[in-house]
A and B are shown apart, each in its own frame.
Chain A
Amino acid sequence: MKNILAVVLLGLGFNAFGMTKINGAGATFPYPIYSKWFSEYKSKNAEIEINYQSIGSGGGIRQVLKQTVDFGATDAPMNAKDKSEAPYKISHIPTVLGAVVPVINVKAVNGLKLDGETLAQIFMGKITKWNHPTLLKLNPKAKLPNEDILVVRRADGSGTTSVFADYLSTVSKDWESTVGRGKSLQWPVGIGSKGNEGVTATVKQTEGAIGYVELSYAITNKLSMVAMKNKAGQFVSPTVESISKAAEGANDPTAEYTASIVDSSAKGAFPIAAFTYLLLPEKNDDMNNKEIRKFIKWALTDGQKFAKDLYYSPLPKKVAKQVLEKLK
């Protein structure tokens, strides 16, 4: 008993004198890279400990507004209403890029090519067979079967859906007017599965399925990925590099990069990409806040090299430089 007490006291002592504890919460999508960053950063700066709870983007925004955490994280930028409720100015800091990848399960078909309008037609239930003339025209060499298309989508509200819907709304007027943008949508057809892992499982098991997941799920589960036609007219497969390129066309003097980067006009860019952000309250007098700034400086320079192994795309050099300058 005495021993336990001593250990607890010792721990408390450490907290009070040596350690800085920083709390954050938010998006689930960047959780793997963030936790890698936090542990790498701690191995270099033993006195800083960063806790991150991946409770979802919406939760991250709410927690920052209520000031229960030192920083938040989100996939979709904060809307005007949330910003107006903030007690401090909250800046968005892009950290890495992610992509939403259409995946399919059709026998003997690999590297299917689609353009945005066709993808929208499929997810609206207007193209229902794999050997539809439009698909055959885009893929003259593929042996597309006379089979029903099963649309698989996220059932839970998610940033992934938001990026995907943003892309389809950008490229298809039809989609924009009938379905629109959002984390939860009214889907015309298809079945909803829970989480990236649910969509992955359903697509993998069901022949004739098409779904959308984050890049890392598509690669690690060896799903057949679709090459999308970008604005420059090229068919681009999703890779860490082609996703980074999507951000190269972006330009934002405020360095927040909250404008959508889907359907990028850059050459060789995969069109369904998005930034993910840290939400940083602008409190200059706060100790923790200073430490987070230091951490971000590290993450946007040395930290970027960890992104690729976890299938995130690093920020283009130009963007990273601009964000760092603003942080100073």
Chain B
Amino acid sequence: MKSESTLKNTISGSLSQREASVFNWAPQKQDQFVFASMRVLSSFVILILVALMVMLIKTAWPVLVDQGTNFFTQSIWNPVDEEFSALPLIYGTMITTFIAVIIAAPISIMVALFVNEVLTPKLAKLVGLFVEMIAAVPSIVFGLWGIFYLGPFIKNTLAPFLKEHFGYLPLFQGPSFGIGVLTASLILSVMITPTITSICREVFKTVPAMRKEGALGLGATKFEMMLLTIVRPSFSGIVGAIVLGTGRALGETMAVAMVIGNQPQIKASLFAPAATMASIIANEYAEADSEMHIAALCGVGLVLFVLTLIVNLVARSIVWNYNRSSK
């Protein structure tokens, strides 16, 4: 306690001192100084992004030259013969993200509606807090949960069920060992639910109460009210939320690496193992000792970087447009 109060004293003391000595400039000059320094600092953020890009391209260059277009078209990843292609990894990332979003998006929207519109404010706060707490769970914990609980559940319960009822689809054929695309997708869907939910909730909150009351006054049921006055006008906001969730799923590494089976291949079955761009970098980088192998991993990193950049840009532009049109 004592030290805290002395600390406060020193801070306020030094502040008044500074006002007297260091910043004894004209107000305009102060503004100019702060503005200039802020500008330098914020341009560093952009510089870092550019530097990252340059570094990735530089390190990945050997593999791009050596493999040419094969780096994007072949289904091969062979560190022994140094033949690399990002295609199976792009596929793995895309398919897991796609399934995760398909599952998570409707659930998140419904959760957001339920929390905002159905629950009493106190309960809403509590449930909202719990949903957002999922986002705070470390991804390695999700990975462990995937190995020890979700994997066996899929192997023993979900996969036999899917095979029995939808076995005619190539998606659900072949043996399931509880580790593979489906498990990774399910874990990802849980992980991105809080992201989508909390953004959707914010978007839904912007709907004026008058409109909701108006709809109810015109005789709409609660469901119709939600659909007409909340979901439909919020469409672009919802899309923005989903794209941000997609961005998170694209880059998720540890949880996916633990449950996807890490086999760079393109198979129709969701039970089969695959590998994602992030998982293969995490797995192989530490012990990659040939230059080409490191270049290939950096090449994969470059593709992932560009992909997430595009996804985020799309999300931002949708949210911007939405904000502009709603104003």
- 14 new A-B contacts, CB < 8 A, other than A59-B286, A185-B79, A187-B263, are A58-B288, A82-B289, A148-B175, A156-B287, A157-B284, A158-B287, A186-B81, A190-B263, A190-B273, A191-B177, A191-B261, A205-B151, A206-B177, A206-B178
Q: How far is the CA of A193 from the CA of B148 in the complex (A)?
A: 13
Give which listed residue, B180, B283, B284, B288, contacts A191 with CB less than 8 A: B180
Q: Is the CB of B261 within 8 A of A183?
A: no
Query: With an 8 A cutoff between CB atoms, is B257 at the interface?
Result: yes
Per-residue A-contact encoding for B136-156, CB less than 8 Å = 1, 0 else = 000000000001100110010
A142 within 8 A of B: no
Between A and B, 14 residue pairs with Cβ closer than 8 Å are: A150-B177, A155-B275, A156-B287, A157-B287, A179-B80, A183-B79, A184-B79, A186-B76, A186-B79, A191-B262, A191-B263, A192-B275, A194-B262, A201-B148
User: Taking the nearest CB of chain B, how far is it from the CB of A205, in angstroms?
Assistant: 6
Bound complex: CA of A92 vs CA of B263, how far in Å?
A: 34
Question: What total count of A-B pairs have CB within 8 Å?
Answer: 98
Contact with A along B247-271 (1 / 0, CB 8 A): 0000000000110011110000000
Residues of A within 8 A of B155 (CB): 206
The residue on A at minimum CB distance from B155 is A206
Q: What is B's interface to A at a CB cutoff of 8 Å? A: 76-81, 147-148, 151-152, 155, 175, 177-180, 257-258, 261-264, 273, 275, 279, 282-284, 286-289, 293
**CB interface residues, A 183-219, toward B, < 8 Å:** 183-187, 190-194, 198, 201-202, 205-206, 209
Q: Are B293 and A184 in contact (CB under 8 A)?
A: yes
Interfacial chain A residues near B287, Cβ < 8 Å? 56-58, 156-159, 183-184
**B302 CB to nearest chain A CB (Å):** 19
Most buried by A among B148, B151, B178, B289: B289
* Chain A residue, CB-CB nearest to B178: A206
Considering the complex, give the chain A residue whose CB is closest to the CB of B280. Answer: A155
Chain B residues near A316 (CB-CB < 8 A): none
Set B79, B180, B262: member contacting A182, Cβ < 8 A: B79
A186 to B296, CA, bound (A): 14
Residues of A within 8 A of B151 (CB): 205
Contact residues in A for B152 (Cβ distance below 8 Å): 205
- Contact B273–A191 (Cβ < 8 Å): yes
Of B76, B177, B261, B287, most buried by chain A (CB within 10 Å of CB) is B287
Contacts of B273 in A (CB 8 A): 190-192
Are A156 and B289 in contact, with the CB atoms below 8 A? no
Please measure, in the bound complex, the distance between the C-alpha atom of A299 and the C-alpha atom of B257, giving whole angstroms: 37
Q: Which of A56, A183, A206, A209 counts the most chain B CB atoms within 10 A?
A: A183
In the complex, the chain B residue whose C-beta lies closest to that of A162 is: B287
Q: Select one of B80, B81, B179, B288 contacting A202, CB under 8 A.
A: B179
A296 to B218, CA, bound (A): 88
Partner of B147, one of A79, A190, A202: A202
Which of chain A's residues have a CB closer than 8 A to the CB of B179? Answer: 191, 193, 202, 206
Task: Give Cα A202–Cα B257 distance, bound, in whole angstroms.
Answer: 13
Query: CA of A202 to CA of B77 in the docked complex: distance in angstroms?
Result: 23
Report which of A56, A156, A182, A193 forms a contact with B80, defined as CB distance below 8 A: A182
A198 to B273, CA, bound (A): 15
Name the residue on A nearest B77 (C-beta).
A186
> Chain A's nearest CB lies how many Å from the CB of B110?
33
User: In the complex, which residues of chain A have a beta carbon less than 8 angstroms from the beta carbon of B257?
Assistant: 155, 194
Q: How far is the CA of A98 from the CA of B264 in the complex (A)?
A: 29
Report B-chain residues with C-beta under 8 Å of the C-beta of A57.
Answer: 287
Is A112 an interface residue, CB under 8 A from the partner? Answer: no
Bound Cα distance A145, B276 (Å): 34
Cβ–Cβ contact A156 & B286, under 8 A: yes
Residues of A within 8 A of B177 (CB): 150, 191, 206, 209
Q: Mark A146-158, 1 if CB is under 8 A from B, else 0.
A: 0010100001111
Chain B residues lying within 8 Å of A193, measured Cβ to Cβ, are 179, 258, 262
Minimum C-beta distance from B135 to chain A (A): 23
A158→B80 CA distance, assembly (Å): 13
> Please, which residues of chain A bring their CB within 8 A of the CB of B77?
186
**B176 CB, nearest partner CB in chain A, Å:** 10
Of all chain A residues, the one with the shortest Cβ separation from B293 is A184
Given contacts A179-B80, A185-B80, contact A55 B286 (CB under 8 A): yes
Decide: A194 and B283 in contact? CB cutoff 8 A: yes
Q: Please give me the residue from chain B that is nearest to A192 by CB atom.
A: B262
Is the pair A157, B286 in contact by a Cβ cutoff of 8 Å?
yes
Distance A155 CA – B287 CA, assembled complex (angstroms): 11
Q: Taking the nearest CB of chain A, how far is it from the CB of B183, in angstroms?
A: 11
Tell me which residues across on chain B come within 8 A of A79, comparing CB atoms.
289
Contact B78 A186 (CB under 8 A): yes
Complex CA gap A201/B258 in Å reads: 11
Instruction: Determine if A181 is an interface residue (Cβ-Cβ < 8 Å).
Output: yes
Q: Which residues A143-180 have CB closer than 8 A to chain B?
A: 148, 150, 155-159, 179-180
- The reply to whether B286 and A58 contact each other, CB–CB distance below 8 Å, is yes
A186: chain B residues within 8 A (beta carbon):
76-81, 264
Which residues from chain B contact A148 at a C-beta distance below 8 Å? 175
B81 touches A180 (CB 8 A): yes
Interface contact B286-A184, CB-CB below 8 Å: no
